[in-house]
Each structure stands twice: as C-alpha cells, then as structure tokens.
Chains A and B, each alone.
Chain A
C-alpha cells in the first residue's frame, strides 16, 4: 500500500517492497536544508540513484567492449550481417550452378527415346559417361567421384500398358549436394523431354493442345513482392532485435556486478552512504538503459537499412521489396524496451553470483541463449499470430508482437496482456534481486556457487539458509 506524507518542508511517497519501506522524495520546497534532510531520510532516493546511474553510464561509455556491443554493433551489425548473408547465399548459388554434374549411363536408352540422352549430353553442365559399368559406377558414386547413375527399365503396373513407356532409374548420394543437383538436372531434362514427347504424340493423333489439356491446374500467386519482403522481415527482425537487446544488456550486466567485484570497487561502493536499494536500482537502470539503447538503435538501423542496404541487395536477385509499416516502429520500440527490462533484470541476478568477469559471462549465457532461441523457433511458425497463450510467454510474446506489427496486425488486447506479463516478470526479478542481496555472502562475493546452487540451498523452506564466510 502506498502512503503520501508531507513533513518538514518536503513531500514523500512511501510504499512497501518486500519488508522494506521505500520512501521517494516527491517535492522538497526551496529550503536546501529541508531538501537535504528529506533526501537523507529516504531508504531509496532519486538523487542517489541519479548520481550512481550517471557514474555507471560515464564509466561504461569509456569501456570499449561495452561501446562496441551495446552501441556500435546494433547500428552496424545489422546491415553488415545482411550483406554477408546475401553475399554468401549468392556465392553458394553461383558455385552450385557453376559445377558440372558427372553422370554415368548404364545400358542403352529405350528404343525410340535416344533423343533424351542426346539432350542430356548436350547440356553444358552435364558430363555423360556411357562406358562405365554399373559396379564401377556405384563404387565411384560412393566415393564421390560420380554424381549420379542413370539406368532405364521397363515400366510396371499401369505404366506398362502404354507402348514405348519406360522408367528412368537414378542412383545418387543424398548426402552430397553435388549429387542432389545432378538428380535435379536429370529430372528437369526428363520432364522437358516428356512434355515434348506428349505434344508430338498429341499432334500425330490430331488433338489440339486445348483438347489435350482436359484437366489442368491454373494457379496464380496473389502475394506481391512486398508481401514476400514482409515475410522475410517478420522472420528476421524479431530475432535480430532480440539478439541486439540481449547483447546490449550482456556486458553491462556482467560489468556492473562481477566486474565491480573483480576490480575491487564493489566494497568501495558499499561503504558510500547510498542505500543498498538505491545501488541496485541505479545499476538496474543503467543495464536496462544500455539494453534499451541497443534495441532502439537497432530498430532505427533496421528502418534506415531497409531502404539503403537491404532492398537494393535483394532486388538484384529476387526483386523483393521491403516496407516497414509506420505503426510497427513504436510497437518495436515498446517491445525492445520491455525485453531490455526483463533481460537486464535476469542477467543481473545471475551475474551477481560471479566473482570475476569471466564467471559472470558464463553464468549469464543461459539468458542470452534463451533470448535467441525463442525468437528463432517462433520465426519458423510464419502462419501464427499473437494469442493469449503466446502472450503469457516472456520473450516469445515480444517476438510475436513485433512480427505481427510488421505484418500490420495489431492485436491490442494481446499486446496489452503481453506487456503486463513482462512487467510482472520484471517486478518478480527485482524482488528476487532484493531477496538475493539480503544475503551478505552474496553481497560481498564470498558465496561459492551460482544462482542454481543458491536456489537449491536457500530458496527452499528446508534449505540451509545459512550464510557462508
């Protein structure tokens, strides 16, 4: 329950966190002495938090790894990563198209169908060997010296009733991409030959092409190139945004907890007059700020790079166009902020158990991977939208909400639900952080173990509940 109070020239709001009464100064008049007295009475005050927060930020912005991971990477990694990805795809595609398939032919082609073999042999990307025996061909196929072996057989069942019909039997190695490409080229050739043969036979019987095509499927792709672009964006942006926010929180969370212990500045901070709550609040705000800035910078980089980098890059090969709905940007921002608030709280709790920066990195990794894996898995489910169930899953709800927004789907009720769930998670994490820091051995870094050991030993009613030296 919150309580408002006005005494000695200052107004405060008091509320209860765990078992501690938190007093926030709201107004302190013009008398400096009254103002000072007001601040001094507060268990957690904004002035201390601001001083600590600005110190943390100033210090962080002078650390190369934090600047690179929380600011530069979100801005530049996105376009660079896309450029590398599409360049690699184009390169691999070129490699696949460039090589010659080594295909062996066992036996003679069926009578009257020699043209099929001639057309295959005429291809520039096929090298046909007619001399190789079946045994030798299979052996070479297994060692990778040959890509496919063709043999012809009489058709069975219904196919056998048609005069001159035949079966093309292809042996290949599905574990080799060269071999799969060779089969694909054979299929293309047989298909083209079949269409040609049917057309010729139809004409010899005096049947026109219209008469011959009694039952056929006529399909039309109604999706535009822009829709395809939206599909790609919907798969990529939630994942990239999540990675960037996680990366933005990762180094500051470890640096401000385990890093401080390693540098022996933690105890220095503990001897200042700032309350423990103020210290935790300032550190949390600092980590969240770095995460939010990474997310927001990433959103802006996406917005700018879509026009300047991605569209021309993809237009060369696919002709796909990209458009980001204007309303999607604020939704992405809100998503990035709540994600940063959650991840920074989770990462700080885990890193609080580390004594060194290296330990901290190892302890925080699970949260980082979670932030990547969840959007990665959801990215495959392109036909799903945000539901009440998904809205209840942290991280997943943000990823889905952003993808919906890119597709111009705004399910406000579920978005509100998702944000509420995320805020509950943040409050729980902060409560947990406060609970954890009640233990002096964890506060001073003498606890030998991770969060999981702490949970096992001290968060159960039958746990040891004892502090170590």
Chain B
C-alpha cells in the first residue's frame, strides 16, 4: 500500500476491546494511511466499521493497542497533548457547553488549546465574523438553533487554528441546508491548506469532497486511493458499487487486503 509522508501518518494501527459476551473484539485491525496538507482524506465505512475508533486513536482520546500514529510529527502515545494541540476534532459526540455563550466557547477552546494568548481576542472576533454569528455570540449555546450550534461547533473546532482537522460523520442529524453548509466549510478549510480527515458512511459526500478515499470494513482498510483509481481498480463507476465490491471481496477473501491499485497485500 502506498504511504505518503504527510502531516498525519498512521501505521498498522490496532485497537482491541473486551466484550463480556463476545470476548476480545478487534475494533481496528492494522490500519495504515497518511495524508498531507491541503488534502481531504475520506474514511468510508458502514456503521461499526472502526472509523470512529481510528479517529479517536488519532485524536488521542483512545490509546492504540498496537501500531503507531503521528500528527504533525507528534506521536499519539508519547506526546498526546502536542497531537491534540495540532488538531481540531468535530463529531456528533463532541457537543458544546450549553451554559457558555458562543463567544465564551470560542475563547475557551482557543485558550485551552494554547492559541497565543495575545491573539485570542482577535481570533474569536474573526471566527464570529467568518461564521456570521455576531447576533448570537453573546447568547448561551443552549438557546441557539441547531444551525447556529453547528456554526459555533465548527468555529470551536478551528478556534486554535490547527493544521489538521478531523470531521467524524459531521453531517449526521443535520438537515440538507446545514449539511451543504458543512461541506462548503470543509472545502474552504482545504483551500486554506488544512489537512482534513473526513469520515462518513454517506457515499455522495465522500465522492464530492475527498481527494483520496479509504474504505474501511470490520476494522480493516480494504482499499485506498483517489476515486478515479478506485474506479479503475474495480471497474465500477459509482462509489457505492466500489464500496460493495470491496466489502464483498473482503468477506470472501478473509485474511487479505485489497490495495487501492488492485494488487493484493497480506493483512498486517
């Protein structure tokens, strides 16, 4: 599998859990990839495929059972605080503090993530203007509409101006307009040179946004490449068909991983 020297580097990452009824569960099983600045990297997989666990390990919320990962050169195990300073994490499970105002929220996340203290006020002002939340900036988050909350939430993710951003199923629960707004923001952030890891199970979003796509199934990376390369490798046009192709193949060929360019590699 082709590896790049990028801002995010994941190598044979594994995570095992213990479940009382199922025993040892491999949530992530030897995932490797890397991505660079100005790239939107998509993690595509069904629910429970291991996308969120992978991203949680990358954001140091969970510790890997095996393998390594680094963000901007900082190792997730040996320097987790530096890793978290270098990234912004957005997901449906990362809510906002309801009793703080939008302005206080941005201020807090900029400061706690060590954005230079003398520039915090200006940064908060910029973000409020950029996301058009001036009118609601001093209202408590709990009083905001879901659309406004979403804007504040994205703003807090980038409050400390991190070079790497993780969006884990960011459009779950959003209406069409808010989902489109989210896609627009991600494109803008890519244009600013951010490294973006975008996880979703919605094919159309991944197709529209991602420069490269990794297909994840049962904790394993089945394929990785640009949409075009995946099309070539599978002889399928639509991402949905490509996804089904790899998943079906993986179910039949247990113990093997299909590479992005069509070659067959042994699972790590």
By a beta-carbon cutoff of 8 Å, the part of chain A in contact with chain B is 32, 36, 39-40, 43, 48, 51-52, 55, 58-60, 62-63, 263-265, 267-268, 270-275, 440-441, 444, 464, 466-469
B-side contacts of A267, CB under 8 Å = 61, 91, 93-94
Q: Find chain A residues with CB under 8 A from B81 CB.
A: 40, 43, 273-275
List 19 A-B pairs, Cβ < 8 Å.
Answer: A32-B116, A43-B81, A58-B99, A58-B104, A59-B99, A264-B95, A265-B94, A268-B95, A271-B59, A271-B94, A272-B113, A273-B85, A273-B112, A273-B113, A274-B81, A467-B17, A468-B18, A469-B18, A469-B27
**Which A residues lie within 8 Å of B114 (CB)?**
36, 39-40, 273
List of B residues within 8 angstroms of A467 by Cβ: 17-18
* Docked-complex contact A265 and B96, CB < 8 angstroms: yes
How far apart sit A468 and B19, CA to CA, in the bound complex (Å)?
Answer: 5
> Within 8 Å of chain A (Cβ to Cβ): is B180?
no
| Distance (whole angstroms) from the CB of B98 to the closest CB of chain A | 6
Which residues on A sit within 8 Å (CB–CB) of B20? Answer: 468
Cβ contact within 8 Å between B93 and A440: no
Min CB distance A445 to B, Å, is 10
Instruction: Point out the residues of chain B lying under 8 angstroms from A58, CB to CB.
Output: 99-100, 104
B63 is an interface residue with CB less than 8 A from chain A: yes
Instruction: State whether A40 touches B95 (Cβ < 8 A).
Output: no
Instruction: Judge whether B99 and A63 touch: CB under 8 Å.
Output: yes
Contact B18 A263, beta carbon cutoff 8 Å: no
Could you say which interface size class chain B belongs to?
35 or more
Q: Would you call B198 an interface residue if the criterion is a C-beta within 8 Å of the partner chain's C-beta atoms?
A: no
With beta carbons under 8 angstroms apart, the residue of B61, B98, B111 that contacts A263 is B98
Which residues of B are found within 8 Å of A441, using beta-carbon distances?
17
Give every chain B residue within 8 A of A265 (Cβ-Cβ).
94-98
Of listed B80, B99, B104, B116, residue having the most chain A CB within 10 A: B99
Residues of B within 8 A of A43 (CB): 81
> Looking at chain B's contact residues, is the secondary structure mostly helix, strand, loop, or mixed?
mixed
Please indicate the chain B residues that have their CB under 8 angstroms from the CB of A40 in the complex: 81-82, 85, 114
Would you call B62 and A440 a contact (CB within 8 A)? yes
B136 interface residue, CB < 8 Å from A?
no
Asked whether any CB of chain A lies closer than 8 Å to the CB of B231, the reply is no
- Known contacts: A267-B61, A440-B63. The answer to whether A272 contacts B84 by CB under 8 A is yes
Specify which chain B residues have a CB less than 8 angstroms from the CB of A263 in the assembled complex: 95, 97-98
Are A51 and B108 in contact, with the CB atoms below 8 A?
yes
Residue of B nearest to A264 (CB): B95
In the assembly, what is the distance between CA of A444 and CA of B56, in Å? 11
Q: Which partner residue on chain A sits nearest B104 by CB separation? A: A58
Whether A271 and B84, one on each chain, are in contact in the complex, defined by CB atoms closer than 8 angstroms, is: yes
Cα–Cα, bound, A377→B228 (Å):
77
- Name 15 extra pairs, CB < 8 A, besides A40-B82, A271-B61, A469-B17: A40-B114, A43-B81, A58-B99, A62-B99, A263-B98, A265-B98, A271-B84, A272-B113, A273-B81, A273-B114, A274-B81, A274-B112, A467-B18, A468-B18, A469-B25
Give per-residue flags for B156-179: 1 if the beta carbon is below 8 A from chain A beta carbons, else 0: 000010000000000000000000
Known: A444-B62, A467-B18. A52 touches B99 (CB 8 A): no
CB distance from B144 to the nearest CB of A (A): 14
| B residues with CB within 8 A of A | 17-20, 25, 27, 59, 61-63, 80-82, 84-85, 87, 89, 91, 93-100, 104, 108-109, 111-114, 116-118, 140, 160
Give the Cβ gap from B51 to chain A, nearest Cβ, in Å. 15
List, in ascending order, chain A residues with CB within 8 A of B96's CB: 265, 268
A55 to B96, CA, bound (A): 12
Bound: A17/B27 CA distance, A: 31
Give chain B residues whose Cβ lies under 8 Å from the Cβ of A444. 61-62
Among B19, B84, B95, B116, point to the contact of A36 (Cβ < 8 A). B116
Q: Which residues of A contact B18 (CB under 8 A)?
A: 464, 466-469
A270-B61, A273-B85, A467-B17 as given contacts; A51 in contact with B111, CB under 8 Å? yes
B27, B84, B98, B140: the one contacting A273 at CB < 8 Å is B84
- Inside 8 A of B80's CB, which chain A residues have their CB? 275
Residues of chain A with a CB closer than 8 A to B17's CB: 441, 467-469
Is the CB–CB distance between B94 and A268 below 8 Å?
A: yes
CB of A55 within 8 A of CB of B97, answer: yes
Closest partner residue, chain A, to B114 (CB atom) = A273
Q: CB-CB < 8 A to A59: which residues of B? A: 97, 99-100
B70: min CB distance to chain A, Å: 16
Q: Are A48 and B19 in contact (CB under 8 A)?
A: no
5 nearest A-B pairs in the assembled complex, by CB-CB distance: A469-B17, A466-B18, A264-B95, A273-B85, A271-B89
Q: Could you tell me if A272 and B59 are in contact, using CB atoms closer than 8 angstroms?
A: no
Closest to B94 in A: A268
Contact B94 A264 (CB under 8 A): yes
Chain B nearest CB, measured from A279 CB (Å): 10
Interface centre among A63, A267, A441 (most CB of B within 10 A): A267
Q: Determine the distance from Cα of A48 to Cα of B116 in the docked complex, in whole angstroms.
A: 13
Taking the closest CB of chain B, its distance from the CB of A439, in whole angstroms, is 11
Whole-angstrom distance from the CB of B248 to the nearest CB of chain A?
Answer: 26
Q: How far is the CA of A320 from the CA of B239 in the complex (A)?
A: 86
A40 to B83, CA, bound (A): 12
Q: Which residues of A contact B63 (CB under 8 A)?
A: 440
A52 CA / B160 CA spacing, docked (Å)? 16
Bound: A467/B63 CA distance, A: 12
Tell me, in angstroms, the Cα distance from A48 to B81 when the chains sit together: 12
**Cα distance, A21 to B114, chains bound together (Å):** 21
Q: Which residues of chain A come closer than 8 Å to B93, judged between CB atoms?
A: 264, 267
Contacts of B85 in A (CB 8 A): 40, 273
Instruction: Please measure, in the bound complex, the distance between the C-alpha atom of A260 and the C-alpha atom of B117, giving whole angstroms.
Output: 26
In angstroms, Cα B89 to Cα A444, docked, is 16
Q: CA separation between A62 and B117, bound complex, in Å? A: 26
Q: In the docked arrangement, what's the CA distance between A356 and B229, Å? A: 46
A43 to B109, CA, bound (A): 19
Residues of A within 8 A of B62 (CB): 440, 444
Residue of A nearest to B83 (CB): A273
- Distance between A34 CB and nearest chain B CB, rounded to angstroms: 13
A273: chain B residues within 8 A (beta carbon): 81-82, 84-85, 112-114, 160
CB distance from B227 to the nearest CB of A (A): 29
Considering only CB atoms, which chain B residue lies closest to A40 in the complex? B114
Shortest A447–chain B CB gap in Å is 11
Complex contact B112–A272 (CB within 8 A): yes
A267 to B116, CA, bound (A): 24
What residues on A are CB-neighbors of B99 within 8 Å? 58-60, 62-63
Distance A440 CA – B62 CA, assembled complex (angstroms): 7
Rounded to whole angstroms, the CA-CA distance of A268 and B117 in the bound complex is: 21
B168 to chain A, nearest CB (A): 10
